[in-house]
A and B are shown apart, each in its own frame.
Chain A
Amino acid sequence: MTRSEHFKELLQSISFRELTLSIDLLVSVYISYFYVNSLMNASTQQLSSVSWLSGLLLQVLIYSVILIVLSYLLLTFISDNELNQPPDVREKQINLVGYKYKAIILQAGICVAIFQYQIEANNWGPAIEYNIPYLPMHIMVGAFLIAEIVNYIAQLYKGRTGDIYE
Chain B
Amino acid sequence: MSEYAITNSIRTLRFLRDEMTQKQLADAIGVTRQTVMAIEANKYSPTLEVAFKISLVFNLPLEEVFQYKTKDI
- Using a CB–CB distance below 8 Å, which chain A residues touch chain B? 13, 15, 17-18, 88-91, 159, 161-164
| B31 interface hit (Cβ, 8 Å) | yes
- Quick one: closest B residue to A91, CB to CB? B32
Asked if A15 and B34 make an inter-chain contact with CB atoms under 8 angstroms apart, the answer reads yes
Asked if B44 and A15 make an inter-chain contact with CB atoms under 8 angstroms apart, the answer reads no
Complex CA gap A162/B43 in Å reads 5
Task: Tell me which residues across on chain A come within 8 A of B50, comparing CB atoms.
Answer: 88-89
| B38 interface hit (Cβ, 8 Å) | yes
Complex CA gap A88/B44 in Å reads 13
- Quick one: closest A residue to B50, CB to CB? A89
Q: How large is the interface on B (under 10, 10 to 19, 20 to 34, 35 or more residues)?
A: 10 to 19
Asked if B38 and A162 make an inter-chain contact with CB atoms under 8 angstroms apart, the answer reads yes
Q: 4 closest pairs, A vs B, by CB? A: A162-B43, A162-B38, A88-B31, A90-B35
Asked if A15 and B43 make an inter-chain contact with CB atoms under 8 angstroms apart, the answer reads no
Known: A88-B30, A88-B31, A88-B32. A162 touches B47 (CB 8 A): no
Task: Tell me which residues across on chain B come within 8 A of A91, comparing CB atoms.
Answer: 32, 35
Q: Can you name 21 A-B residue pairings with CB atoms under 8 Å?
A: A15-B32, A15-B34, A17-B32, A17-B34, A88-B30, A88-B35, A89-B46, A89-B47, A89-B50, A90-B31, A90-B32, A90-B35, A90-B38, A90-B44, A91-B32, A91-B35, A159-B34, A161-B43, A162-B43, A162-B44, A163-B43
Complex CA gap A143/B29 in Å reads 39
- Quick one: closest B residue to A161, CB to CB? B43
Task: Tell me which residues across on chain A come within 8 A of B38, comparing CB atoms.
Answer: 90, 162
Complex CA gap A105/B70 in Å reads 38
Task: Tell me which residues across on chain B come within 8 A of A162, comparing CB atoms.
Answer: 37-38, 41, 43-44
CB distance from A88 to the nearest CB of B (A): 4
- Quick one: closest A residue to B29, CB to CB? A88
Task: Tell me which residues across on chain A come within 8 A of B47, comparing CB atoms.
Answer: 89
Complex CA gap A4/B46 in Å reads 33
Which residues of B22-46 are within 8 A (CB) of A?
30-35, 37-38, 41, 43-44, 46
